[in-house]
Amino acid sequence: MEIIHPNKSLLEEKDASSRIHWPPSPPATDNDPKESNIDHNSSGFDGISGDIDELDIKTSRRYPLPPPSRPDNGVLAEDLKTPDNHVVRDPRLIRLTGVHPFNVEAPLTDLFDEGFITTKDLHYVRNHGPVPRVEDSEMMDWEFTIEGMVDNPIKMTLEQLIKQYEQVTYPVTLVCAGNRRKEQNVVRKTKGFSWGAAGLSTALWTGVVIGDLLRAAMPKRGARYVCFEGADKLPNGYYGTSIKLNWAMDPNRGVMVAHKMNGEVLTPDHGKPLRIIIPGQIGGRSVKWLKRIIITKEPSDNWYHIYDNRVLPTMINPEMSADMPDTWKDERYAIYDLNTNSATCYPAHDERLTLPDVTGSYNIRGYAYAGGGKRVTRVEITFDKGKTWILADISYPEDEYRLAPDGEELFGGRLDMTWRESCFCWCFWNLEVSISQFQAADDIMVRAMDESMMVQPRDMYWSVLGMMNNPWFRVVIHKEGHALRFEHPTLPALMPGGWMERVKKAGGNLSNGFWGEKLSGEDEKIEEVEPAKEICMINKDVNRTITIDELRRHDGELEPWFVVGGQVYDGTKFLEGHPGGAPSIIGAAGQDVTDEFLAIHSENAKAMMVDYHIGSLDRASLDALANCGNDAVEGTEPREIFLQSKAWTKAILSAKKKVSADTKIFTFTLEHAEQLIGLPVGQHLMIRLRDPVTREAIIRAYTPISKGTDRGKLDVLIKIYHDTPERKGGRMTRALDSIPVGHFVDFKGPVGKFEYLGRGLCAISGQRRIVKRFIMVCAGSGITPIFQVLRAVMADPEDPTTCLVLDGNRAEEDILCKQELDQMVKGNERRCRLLYALSRPGPSWTGLTGRMGPALFEKEVGPRSSAGREELVLICGPAALEESVRDIFTGMGWKDDDLLFF
């Protein structure tokens, strides 16, 4: 019998009977049962200087040690233009999310063939953004804190952690909650990227039992949770999550603060220099680059704890989930313990058996794991779709560590496993079958059960994030002449292949309960959702290809070119007509502005783009833009001015102050205390957040109430538009309201075509104009740009400009900034007249009543005077108000040039 396999050298034949046996076995150690010294270099480890890098191992028994790492790995070419250009990586790893950030799994057979312990080279990686850079010389000075509801807050360095606390070493399997998600994505797209079946790995972790640290910090009565926060700076704040305090304190849970992996210091991808390890729970709880441990009464309010690692009810689709903030915050849907899962590794995908005869046997092999410290107690194989089952043999390499005597040390940490019954690791299963069983079957399916008798389900539980996928793992057997070919469900990432994609392309319904196979007499069709019609933004007669160098030669005020969706547009002809002013186009010049363009512009604006389309970027330029991007920037040197016209800049949400029932002042802390906001009077800034579900950019323009000359802090007054039975709420305002203090938010600017230069001098689309009187019409939160200009006028006693402010609201409590406005005008009534109008006044209201309409404007403003261009109407409010004001004022003889809409 000939075996043809993508990794043929990995299979071994056992003798003339052609019985194939599981190749992975513990790395060779001294078989002498007496104590022996093992040189770590003989196991493939490179010595590293420093106290924590001593890898001399004294063992009394035989248990698995790490296989050799690859000594020739380096920084990969694709990482050189990313923030991870300092990280050494293995080229065998399969990238699941493009070049950056780094989310990878090993080829399934390579992972399995390494055996029980996975090298740092092939261990899966889940990164949400750039990897924090920590030099070797800085590691021992790395600080972290234990704070919150504790009587004894602690701040310590890694050096203190190693010297002052006992070290332990545990073998632990980490599993991403998205393991096997590709199968869910084939059935129906989830909001997660496509993990294959290798989103798990096992390593020996060395560090300190977290219970020792927490007892030293002395949690207060009422504390129930332990929150962890890393140093990875992400679009939605630092990565953080939480677990229950009693779990962390329970030694059976094995939660630890780790600084070594397989006897070596942590690599950057795995949390250098310090991380949390939580056995039996999903990998998303094991925070890397640890900076803070916070004891709290409630679960973490970190964005990533709320909007990641959850299994929402299966009837909630992606569109529904975007408008269900309370559902996302429901801790019942948060994932902690792993569920029971298994997969077949051999036969591998596309492995072939050539059959000159039907003699011999084959050893089917795979892995299984359970969660919460439970042991996998059985693994069963079926060749007839579940009618009958065969028990597989299971091996538990983890148990070999339990045989180590008390006091045994490994990699500088006490093994400490002789007393513990809980299981932290995967196990391996195998079943030797005759080739004739393969020939008689259409597929092989495996399921596992844990000690609580929880068994893998037959069918998939689809959910919006595509996590915890664990139905029976099915391998299809194809009969091809004198050969058998095996086909796994899927391949990871965008790699084509697998029976699920094949069945779906052929029209099979993967959710019919029979793996997409058509039943007798069945005439079914998959219901396809009709895609939304997209606005064409491309001139089909344009065939020009443009390079990134050519694009960047047009990154200024003359002929500004920009990119949307890989297509290049020339904004020169629209500089004067753009509602946001020429600076909005000039600020986009030379950049890919896909996110912000699609987030801001209407369908009508998108349809206009055909007229400005001049070509498409070539493939190399698209890759270059993707690698370097023009996203939020962080420089090593502190910048004097916060706002940047061509780059997003991060600020931290540091406070929320409620000023009315639906309005808050959001305070953001800039990069340093002396940093200037840098916003001209009358202009706006852009705020960007990511939708927590769809990950689409939400971008809106706001006018802060801070002065542009303020430093260190930025205050923005925002009205929160909640959902009502009549209408959907505001995506941005609801997103801002839901994020916690400490969250990062992106800013860009300035934008806008109006600027007040002082003492009556304005600039509108670059053209200067002298104004002797401003007529300011606003409603609700539309006060903010009006407030900004009025403040500039009133702050200068030498400014001759006069102002009339008409501010309309429903009730008195809806008048925003009223105290500040009244204070500005007090004593300056000659220079400014301030009128409030309420549509739903209370009994004590003595001001104007009713909506702002023709009668009010005719009385207080009247027809355009002979002064003409010396008067300017500034308008900001709901669309209905702005349309009404335009109609009324043009009806009174005012020209469009006299009306400026913010």
**Tokens at residue 49, please?**
């200087």
Exposure of 157 by Cβ count < 10 A (0-12 exposed, 13-18 middle, 19+ buried)? Answer: middle
Does residue 308 have an active-site annotation? yes
pLDDT of residue 820: 92
How far apart (Å, rounded) are the C-alpha atoms in residues 229 and 300?
10
What are the tens digits of pLDDT across the range 243-288? 999 999 999 999 999 999 999 999 999 999 999 999 999 999 999 9
CA distances from 423 to 65, 375, 399 (A): 18, 6, 9
For the chain, the distance separating the N- and C-terminal CA atoms, rounded to the nearest angstrom, is 78
CA dist., res. 371 & res. 177, Å (int): 11
- 796 in any annotated domain: yes
Q: Tell me how far apart the alpha carbons of residues 798 and 224 are, in angstroms, rounded to a whole number.
A: 60
**252 and 187, same structural domain?**
yes
User: Which residue out of 84, 232, 308, 746 is catalytically annotated?
Assistant: 308
Q: In this predicted model, what pLDDT tens digit does every residue of 433-459 receive, in sequence order?
A: 999 999 999 999 999 999 999 999 999
Q: CA-CA distance, 271 to 582, in Å (whole number)?
A: 45
**Is 249 in the same domain as 384?**
no
Residue 160 is predicted with a pLDDT of 97
Q: Tell me: do 153 and 278 sit in the same domain.
A: yes
Cα angle vertex 738, ends 735, 739, to 5°? 90
Give the chain's largest Cα–Cα span: 109
Q: Is the pLDDT of residue 499 over 90?
A: yes
Query: Mean pLDDT throughout 86-111?
Result: 94
- In terms of DSSP bridges, do strands 761-764 and 754-758 run parallel, antiparallel, or are they unpaired? antiparallel
CA distance 744 to 739: 9
| pLDDT category of residue 477 using cuts at 50, 70 and 90 | very high
Instruction: Report how far residue 486's alpha carbon sits from residue 443's, in angstroms, rounded to the nearest whole number.
Output: 9
Sign, Cα dihedral of 349, 352, 353, 355: positive
- Residue at token pair 């689709």: 317
- Structure confidence by residue, pLDDT tens digits, 704-756: 999 999 999 999 999 898 877 777 778 888 888 888 888 889 998 898 889 99
Q: Does residue 119 form part of some domain?
A: no
Partners of 769 in the beta sheet? Answer: 762
One-letter amino acid of 296 = T
Please say which residue of 716, 732, 751 terminates a domain.
751
Q: What is the pLDDT of residue 15?
A: 33
Examine the domain organization and report whether 370 and 499 are in the same domain. yes
Domain co-membership, 295 together with 346: no
User: Sheet of 143-148: strands edge to edge?
Assistant: 154-157, 143-148, 290-296, 225-234, 237-244
DSSP H/E element including 174: strand 168-175
The model's pLDDT over 289-339, given as tens digits with 9 standing for 90+, comes to: 999 999 999 999 999 999 999 999 999 988 788 778 889 999 999 999 999
787, 871: one domain: yes
Last residue of a domain, one of 727, 751, 775: 751
Whether 692 contacts 635, CB under 8 Å: no
Q: Which CATH number belongs to the domain containing residue 352 in this structure?
A: 2.60.40.650
Among 236, 302, 309, 341, the active-site one is 309
For residue 638 the two structure tokens come to 């502190």
Mean pLDDT score, 497-503: 94
> 415 with 446, same domain?
yes
Q: Check whether residue 328 and residue 348 sit in a common domain.
A: no
pLDDT tens profile 6-47: 333 333 333 333 333 333 333 333 333 333 333 332 233 233
Backbone phi, psi, residue 772, to 5°: -100, -25
Whether 110 sits among the annotated catalytic residues: the reply is: no
| The length of the chain, given as a count of residues | 902
Give the separation between CA 423 and CA 404, rounded to whole angstroms.
Answer: 16
Q: Which of 460-464, 618-622, 744-748 has the lowest mean pLDDT?
A: 618-622
Residue that the structure tokens 């002449």 belong to: 481
160 and 270: one domain? yes
| The pLDDT value given to residue 295 | 98
| CA–CA distance, 28 with 67 (Å, rounded to integer) | 9
Per the listing, tokens 């299809």 go with 476
Confidence of residue 637 (pLDDT cuts 50, 70, 90): low
The CA distance from 669 to 178, in Å, is 35
- My answer on whether 423 and 570 are in the same domain is no
For residue 573, give the CATH number of its domain: 3.10.120.10
Read off the CATH number of the domain in which 719 is found: 2.40.30.10
Burial label, 107 (beta-carbon count in 10 A; 0-12, 13-18, 19+): buried
Residue 222 lies in a domain: yes
What whole-number distance in Å separates Cα of residue 212 and Cα of residue 165? 8
Return the amino acid letter for 667: T
Q: Which of 110, 176, 470, 814 is catalytic?
A: 176
Count the alpha carbons within 13 Å of 608 in the hemisphere toward its beta carbon: 12
Structural domain ending residue among the three candidates 575, 598, 628: 628
Residue 693: predicted pLDDT = 60
Helix axes 783-795, 818-825, angle to 10 degrees: 30
Looking at the structure, tell me whether residues 493 and 558 fall in a common domain. Answer: no
Between CA 642 and CA 716 the distance in angstroms is: 15
- Strand order across the beta sheet in which 393-395 lies: 341-346, 361-369, 427-434, 393-395
Q: What is residue 438's three-state secondary structure?
A: helix
* Domain coverage including residue 173: 136-333
Residue 176 domain flag: yes
Report the C-alpha gap between 226 and 248 in whole angstroms: 7
Query: Sheet harboring 94-95: ordered strands across?
Result: 94-95, 103-105, 125-126
State the DSSP string of 295-336.
EESS----HHHHHSSB---TT--HHHHTT-HHHHT-GGGB--
Mean pLDDT of the chain: 86
The number of domains in the chain is: 5
| Residue 744 and residue 797 in one domain | no
* Tens of pLDDT, residues 191-208: 889 999 999 999 999 999
The domain that contains 774 carries what CATH number?
3.40.50.80
Q: Evaluate whether 392 touches 381 at the Cβ level (below 8 Å).
A: yes
- 528-537, 594-603, 676-685: which range is least confident on average? 528-537
